[in-house]
Amino acid sequence: MNDGHRPLKNIGGGQPRMPGVDCPSCGQRAFARQTGKRSLLYSEVYYVCRDTMACGHHFVVGISVLRTVRPSCVAEPLERLPMTTWRNAANDRAANDDGTPSEPVASTMIT
């Protein structure tokens, strides 16, 4: 391509899988119908609720690239993203969370 975008690679072959999403109206699983607007850092995906008879909700999900947790080996990236560490990004707290985060309990951790 000549528009500054690298071609998409689908490692597994076949159609790329879209993230699983629940319908915001009824809570049932929804499935991706098609993709819409697309850029290097943002994509829109059109979803349809699986419960077509009782709900039938159609909605759009925006997928956005937010930050880098491990830098690319590409010498000249097309976009420069803010750099964070994995631990900080994974432990982001909600704005209404005033308490200090608790340490994980060893008995509840998956090994």
30: burial class by Cβ within 10 Å (0-12, 13-18, 19+)? buried
- Tell me the domain boundaries of the chain: 18-70+78-84
Contact between 32 and 43 (Cβ < 8 Å): no
CATH architecture of residue range(s) 18-70+78-84: Single Sheet (2.20)
Outline where DSSP puts E strands in 13-94: 21-22, 29-38, 42-49, 58-64
The CA-atom distances, in angstroms, between 64 and each of 13, 28, 37, 94, 111 are 23, 23, 12, 19, 31
User: What digits encode the pLDDT tens for the residues 82-108?
Assistant: 887 765 444 555 555 556 656 655 555
User: Model pTM?
Assistant: 0.56
Contact between 29 and 22 (Cβ < 8 Å): yes
User: What digits encode the pLDDT tens for the residues 18-59?
Assistant: 788 999 999 999 999 888 888 888 999 999 999 989 999 999
